[in-house]
Amino acid sequence: MKKLGRKALAVAVAVALGAGVTSVVTAPATASVDGGEAHGGEATFLVLTPQGATVDRALARVAAADGTVIADYRQIGVLVVRSANRDFVADTAGAGVESVASTAGLGTVLDEGHTVELTTGELAAVGGDPSTEPLFAQQWNMPMIDLPRAHTVTAGSADVVVGVLDSGISSSHPDLAGQLARDKSASCLGGVADTTEAAWNPTTSDHGTHVAGTIAAARNGVGVTGVAPGVKVAAVKVVDNEGYIYPEAAVCGFMWAAEQGMQLTNNSYYLDPWELNCRNDARQRPVWQAVQRAIRYSQSKGVLTVASAGNANHDLAHRFVDSGSPNNGTPEVREVNGACLVLPAQAPGVVTVAAVGPTGQKSYYSSYGQGVVDVTAPGGDSRIRTQGLTPTTADAILSTTFNTVTRIDGWGWKQGTSMSGPHVTGVAALALSARPGMTPGQLAALLERTAVPQPCPAGGYDPIPLLPSATDYTATCQGGTRNGFHGAGLVNAYRAVK
């Protein structure tokens, strides 16, 4: 089975969605001698200290090594530091410091996905049920998760705030402007929160705006509806203008969500340019530790983390050859094992989401794995009906968009596990609205308990054999009622709130 490559961040207006989740490899970041990304000769480092202990000795070592602390997350024993010292890692080692790693070269390209925007003419010609939303008739994904019946119970409570860790949310979008928890929104680029509105708005990507619309687009007679239109979303920007997600931004995002009292975070990305973060790798281990500490801390503060399984069509439960990483430079071939996991999807306590298309079958691109995937949800599949021969745009997910060229808000189609994750986050938000006070563990268990089991397909699974590509998208589903393609099943909004 070959890897479905990650796509570099790019503006993708009116391009053929049917091209699927394609691969465009970007040039690696400018690097200093130690491999760190160069910013005026400086690099960013994660300094990990023993948890529960004072950070005083670590702070002293950082200062002595000519480092500047730009973010102090002593709650989890993580410091984000900038330094131009080429020997910073060696000079900082010692008592009070567990590990140090440069994060440069560890920025991950967001799996942006193509956007196909609805044109002005298409918007003008829209029919549908005027008692709901003009575009609701094209949101096939919402009836699939039993949303209309769920909304007879609750559309969500404004007391529930969802952190969207992504590329920012357009604060001017008519379907989102009233949905934003502006006082809890921030940019985490560089590892430290910036709450100015311009900082957390999108610049070069509409990914976060699309995700936010699936979660909470308003029921206001305009555009689409979200799964939980009564809740609030907070933009937590972790994707920079080049489309990279660095570990320090993700750590900041989880910590910000925890300290701001959010109950959920949606994470439609993976960390580390290597698709899997290997805990037995000296360079990658501090990243794993820092991110896991941040997730665990947010969980202790009542935050449930929902994450996408990825678009590589990989069986994450078994060893495989990763031939498409790193995605910020020239891919290499390496065999990975049980010490290598997708972050944040495979961190403990995270709800991991796979994707299905309009027929309910596993989307051809969706990663999977028995014991890895917890639930599945609509992510779109523009190729499933024609077995890959030609695309059907309307079989992707319709949501809110922001054209980064014209700076105009709109609506359009994307597909990917990035789109399935927010369905689950939205259902979780509805469940919390109906049953306030649930812990993250209780909420995760409810999502699984109320999901509708989906069987494995008979025999081998080859959903798009006619796709004009040499890439092999066959997959093998393992398990019974709970299986590697669907986990506990298709998330169901009504069952989660009734």
Residues classed as catalytic? 166, 207, 418
Cβ proximity of 256 and 190 under 8 Å: no
- How would you classify the pairing of strands 244-245 and 320-325? unpaired
Cβ proximity of 391 and 383 under 8 Å: yes
List CB contacts of 131: < 8 A, sequence separation 6 or more: none
272 DSSP β-pair partners: none
For the chain, give percent helix, strand, coil, nearest 5: 25, 25, 55
The amino acid present at 221, given as its one-letter code, is G
Q: Please, is 405 exposed, middle or buried when counting C-beta atoms within 10 Å of its C-beta (0-12, 13-18, 19+)?
A: exposed
Phi/psi at 449 (nearest 5 deg)? -65, -30
Cβ proximity of 93 and 100 under 8 Å: yes
Cβ proximity of 290 and 71 under 8 Å: no
The DSSP code for 260 is: T
Within 151-206, where are the H helices?
A: 197-200
